[in-house]
Chains A and B, each alone.
Chain A
Amino acid sequence: MRVLIPGPLRDYTAKATVSAEGRTLGGMLADLDSRFPGLRFRIVDEQGRTRRHIKFFVDGLQTSDLDRAFDGVEEVMIVCALSGG
């Protein structure tokens, strides 16, 4: 699948779009982290929860369920919400 990487995470990937594998959203993040170490912890905390200002859109639909099964997913978009000064 194609993963759209937001600006704050491109220090890890060096690219705005990368490809990844995984049967779930969590699996996809594990795959990303294996190739871009440290990325996952910046967006998922140590208890396995998505950090507060991070959103995932799977083929355009927002989800926070890391166990969600991927079935023919083509694109995952990671969004970082910016707020305040």
Chain B
Amino acid sequence: MAKLDLARGRRATLLIATRKGLWQLSADAPRRKWRLTGPHFLGHIVHHCAADPRDSKTILAAVRTGHLGPTIFRSTDRGRSWHEAQRPPAFREGSGRIVDHTFWLAPGHASEPRTWYAGTSPQGLFRSEDGGATWEGVDGFNEHPMRKTWCGGDQDGTPDGPTLHSILIDPRDRQHLYIGMSSGGVFESANRGADWRPLNAGVKADFLPEPTPEFGHDPHCVRQHPVMPDRLYQQNHCGIYRLDRPAERWQDIGVSMPKSVGNIGFPMVVHPRDPDTIWVFPMDGTKVWPRTSPAGKPAVYRSVNGGKSWQRQAAGLPKTQAWLTVKRQAMTSDQGSPVGVYFGTTSGELWGSRDEGRTWKCLAAHLPHVYAVEVA
């Protein structure tokens, strides 16, 4: 997802979506001092919140509560005031399907300034042409005759519900889209979502009877490099991968991670300018999948060569007995120079680095379970 340019003078603001509301964390120009404001929607589950880089003022939040159904709130003044969508994402009446929650929000192509996309749980794809006020299903996906085969049933999939995430719009071509699905895999559309095909060759799915199927994979987070859109990265349930289009086969770049750390995690972060630099946050994927920092020693791993090798970046992070979990939307980067990298934990901490991961500082603590962190 494109992000706002700090070089243009805007100070970094992080949108922190949590299980109990939305907070904003704003920095001074050098990103040394941070100020936490909020909450918005206290008590509401905010699965995702995204700012629009096309107008620098619109923010959308995907909201529900434990007892009320899902909706979308919109702000056109950078979060000072919010208005509910008139028609939130909902499956076609008669389809039998129910949106449990909107999981992923993505601003559309730069040439379509009012267009947004939303991915839901269970897997559904929706589009708004009016800045998020009203939403329509993308029938090419939701009604695709292969959808259920690709994704399984709505009750299948991951414990928090199967999700459609990582909606990527090719900056060179508004018709060219990618999505990631847990479960399902990575899919590509060349016609703005009218049809889709799986794009998973080379990716393992070792939890299935056929370990290298055409679909059925569990990508956790897929990213497209903004200045080299033919380069994709994904943190998968079964490793870390890179794909350089027009190639069709993903390259396993998790094999070069230290064996004691493993190649399991949820987020994937790309450098805004250098296509070879990426960050992941490894978590324990052994036995019952604790999904906490391996051995209780949290670290970010960075590669500066497209995943050929990785460096541990843990300066400033707790050295031991720190069992952090970072969800797939809860790690991001800004556009600063050097780049700022940020992650939020399920234990309510927000960590940041203003030197591309070399040193880390806890910027906020005592927040609710962090679901997503985005730069606004």
Contacts and interface: CB of A to CB of B under 8 A. Distances in A.
- Check if A and B associate: yes
Interface residues of B, number: 20
B96 A51 contact: no
A51 B84 CA distance: 19
Contacts of A49: 98
B275 to A, nearest CB: 41
Contacts of A46: 90-93, 97-99
B352 to A, nearest CB: 27
Nearest to A46: B90
B290 interface: no
A47 B96 contact: yes
A83 B67 CA distance: 9
B359 interface: no
B98 A42 contact: no
A82 B71 contact: no
A22 B92 CA distance: 25
Contacts, number: 55
A45 interface: yes
Given A47-B96, A47-B98, A84 B90 contact: no
B86 interface: yes
Interface residues of A, number: 21
B67 A81 contact: yes
Contacts of A53: 66-67
A72 B93 CA distance: 31
B288 interface: no
Contacts of B88: 38, 41
A42 B84 CA distance: 12
A43 interface: yes
A38 B92 CA distance: 17
Nearest to A79: B67
Contacts of B67: 8, 51, 53-54, 80-82
Nearest to A84: B66
B66 A41 contact: no
Given A46-B93, A46-B98, A51 B86 contact: no
Interface of B: 65-69, 71, 84-86, 88, 90-99
